[in-house]
Chains A and B, each alone.
Chain A
Amino acid sequence: MSEKTTFWLDGAEIPFTAGQTLLEAARRAGHYIPHLCWHPDYKPHGSCKLCTVKVDGRFVSACTTLAQAGAHVENRTAELDDMRRTLLQLLFVEGNHFCPSCEKSGQCLLQATAYELGMMSPHFDHFFPNRPVDASHPEVMLDFNRCILCSLCEQAAKRDGKFTFVMGGRGMRGRRVILNSESGRLADTDFSSTDHAAHVCPVGVILKKRVGFAVPYGQRRYDQAPVSLLDVAEAIK
């Protein structure tokens, strides 16, 4: 049986069980820690850094750091949220995120998190990268213009025993998702629209074709409630 004890998150006492991360324990207790690359079904890897918190004065990723009894954790402070906004702004300018015409709008974790953290502008100059759409597959389209390199597609494919998506390349402009086929096209991989990877993308990269804007305003995921409420509601249901 796991031993239950507590730590402190923004002044609130949070119970946890041994082996739980700060993010898992906080969610269970109804506290939202912003995150993008973390997913409850996959191993955390701390790459987006949006869940960065301060534990006794040190910056750590909440998704990969195990909860420690008695620790004092800062989460939604002005300092941390300001840094998170900067991380979001960097993500927005690195890709081509045109929310007004994006079918993921209203159901996109990046957009919802930007709203949650009050991101009012991109602040930095846009890179406007040239990333062609891969529409070769009959059922699923890839628009890497919106990729935030969360690598969830890579992990989800592995869950099905596949290596369809692989993180590759180096550097700010070089790092990208590579498709595991000689042509580099999705249609030539072993991808299937029933794979876990087809449904895991938190932004608008992996999209089921010909769905588009079928969900009307008012019924989209984040029309119901902000991400902070939905995230913890899913954790405790």
Chain B
Amino acid sequence: MALPLETAPHPETLKRVAIDPLTRVEGHGKVTLLLDADNRVQQARLHIVEFRGFEKFIEGRPFWEVPVAVERLCGICPVSHHLAAAKAMDQVIGTTLPPGAEKIRRLMHYGQILQSHALHFFYLASPDLLFGFDAEPQKRNIVALSALQPEIARKGIQIRKYGQEVIRLTAGKRIHGTGAIPGGVNKALTPEERSFLRKDIYAIIAACREAVELVKRLFEENRAHYEAFASFRAHAMCLVAADGALDLYHGGLRARLADGALLFDHFDYSHYWDVILEDVKPWSYMKFPFLRALGDCDRGWYRVGPLARLTLCDYIPTPFAEHERKEFLAFDEGAACHATLGYHWARMIEMLFAAETIKELLHDDDLSRADHVGLAGERRERGVGVIEAPRGTLIHHYRVDENDQVIRANLIVSTTHNNQAMNEAIRRVAQQYLDGNELTEGLLNHIEVAIRAFDPCLSCATHALGKMPLIVELFDAEGRPLDRLVRGADGRCQRA
């Protein structure tokens, strides 16, 4: 059974429009649309066309190398891969982390959440929201934001910089550090380092509160548009703490169906395959995970990430963020909880949660304890590490042989979990805004706005100072070109 707009019954009679490249995380994505003679959308697909291969080329490598090797998957969220792999390897060596080590890892992770969410919202997404989805392309970037809204840009840069500093002091480098090792971390924080970070954390919390207010104001001012834009109900999944609290570092899996029913709760992720399976479709290199109990990916697809987390957790254990979560849930009787742009609001609340959590951790003397590596215990062949990365649930699964070499790896990254949800979002946008209309750059950007709400890495390239070249071609049923739009490196859009 195919989903609506996933596969047109007679594609040979339709015109094809491709947004290619979308330039995603570490490579390329594209969107293809099939239109009939009246420009009505009959099919819309998000394709991730690049093959990464990490799962294959870490085979044979020693297990202690993996947390550092796999973080190269990403330049924006390397800490998430680093920590998920380290958590898996903790299981392989059968260790229990000393309290200081887990807290340092948590600090590293929340530093990562802070910088990644700030990058995602301020640098990449906010120009769309502040200047309009169909604003001139030259305005849709961080440079224009700095010129036109310098105070907002400055706050974004300030928050991101602070997050990067947290990562530097816990992982050794701002990007691609080595802090987490199997069984713990390779350094504790000195009292001086903690004092250095404590100095600015209150200003960062204040800046994060302003960021939440900014998104809230955007929702209030554009209520109908924001609530309707690519809005849909979906199943959702994330980690939650044992008491149901929001916890982005560790917990059990919780999934709730679109109708509100709980499918599973506090599920031990070391056997995640009992509740999640992966499917494939012939038109995409990216797999389609689904909730196993629902049978297949067309029925069992789900949403992960900030929107899923805030709607699934019972509460947020920091006061400012919890207050904001309640407002978010109550907004127009929950309308923001199903809106794709609600991801940005939820994202800013999580950023505030990260800042508050960092503040708590920095006052904990365990961060400076000398015992930051646990003793190896009973060796296990399998290790599964799951973490809530900025974009959603991230699963790392490894098998290691008796010679310490990785013999199998399976990574289900956040973008993959959200594969079907992103496809659903672009189909909504295609129906809402493109259906029956002549294509313009601004209309096509609506599709990218929806993808950007899920995935910062896609938007990263798209908003690379207006340099992403984009060619959209429209062909008739016989393959004759009808229309061609070219966006150049200078951001100008021309009909060629």
- Which A residues contact B (CB, under 8 angstroms)? 100-103, 132-133, 135-136, 141, 209-218
Contacts and interface: CB of A to CB of B under 8 A. Distances in A.
Nearest to A210: B64
Q: Is the interface of A mostly helix, strand, loop or mixed?
A: loop
A133 B405 contact: yes
Contacts, number: 59
Nearest to B176: A100
B20 interface: no
Contact of B64 (A100, A211, A217): A211
Q: Which of A103, A132, A135, A212 has the most CB of B within 10 A?
A: A212
Interface string B70-102: 001000000000000000000001000000000
Interface in B380-413: 403-405
B481 interface: no
Nearest to B172: A217
Contacts of B376: 210
Nearest to B186: A216
Nearest to B70: A101
A72 B185 CA distance: 52
Given A216-B186, A216-B187, A101 B404 contact: no
Contacts of A141: 62, 404
Contacts of A218: 172
B65 A103 contact: yes
Contacts of B182: 210, 212
A141 B64 CA distance: 12
A101 B186 contact: no
A217 B185 CA distance: 12
Nearest to B170: A216
B68 A216 contact: no
7 contacts: A100-B72, A101-B61, A101-B68, A101-B72, A135-B404, A209-B62, A218-B172
B211 interface: no
Nearest to A132: B60
A217 B404 contact: no
Given A100-B69, A213-B178, A216-B179, 11 more contacts: A100-B68, A100-B176, A102-B65, A103-B68, A135-B62, A135-B403, A209-B404, A212-B182, A213-B64, A213-B181, A217-B173
B177 interface: yes
B71 to A, nearest CB: 9
Given A100-B72, A133-B60, A214 B404 contact: no
A125 to B, nearest CB: 19
B176 A215 contact: no
B403 A212 contact: no
B55 to A, nearest CB: 15
Which 7 A-B residue pairs are closest in the complex by CB-CB distance? Answer: A217-B172, A212-B64, A101-B69, A135-B403, A213-B178, A216-B187, A216-B186
Interface string B158-198: 00000000000000110011110110001100000000000
Contacts of B60: 132-133
A217 B178 contact: yes
Contacts of B172: 216-218
Contact of A101 (B65, B93, B187, B373): B65
Q: Which of B61, B93, B181, B373 has the most CB of A within 10 A?
A: B181
Nearest to A209: B404
A132 B60 CA distance: 8
Contacts of B179: 216
B178 A136 contact: no
Contacts of A216: 172, 178-179, 186-187
A136 B68 CA distance: 22
Contacts of B62: 133, 135, 141, 209, 212
B186 A135 contact: no
A136 B403 CA distance: 6
Nearest to A133: B60
A136 B401 CA distance: 11
A136 B62 CA distance: 11
Nearest to B58: A101
B484 to A, nearest CB: 37
B176 A210 contact: no
Contacts of B65: 101-103, 212
Given A100-B72, A100-B176, A213 B404 contact: no
Nearest to B178: A213
B365 to A, nearest CB: 20
B93 to A, nearest CB: 8
B464 to A, nearest CB: 23
A97 B15 CA distance: 48
A59 to B, nearest CB: 39
Contacts of B68: 100-101, 103, 212-213
A216 B373 CA distance: 13
A133 B177 contact: no
A135 B407 CA distance: 12
Nearest to B64: A212
A212 B405 contact: no
A136 B178 CA distance: 26
A133 B57 CA distance: 13
Q: Which of A101, A135, A218 has the most CB of B within 10 A?
A: A101
Contacts of B403: 135-136
A49 B93 CA distance: 43
A103 B64 contact: yes
A133 B376 CA distance: 23
A209 B64 CA distance: 9
A213 B69 CA distance: 11
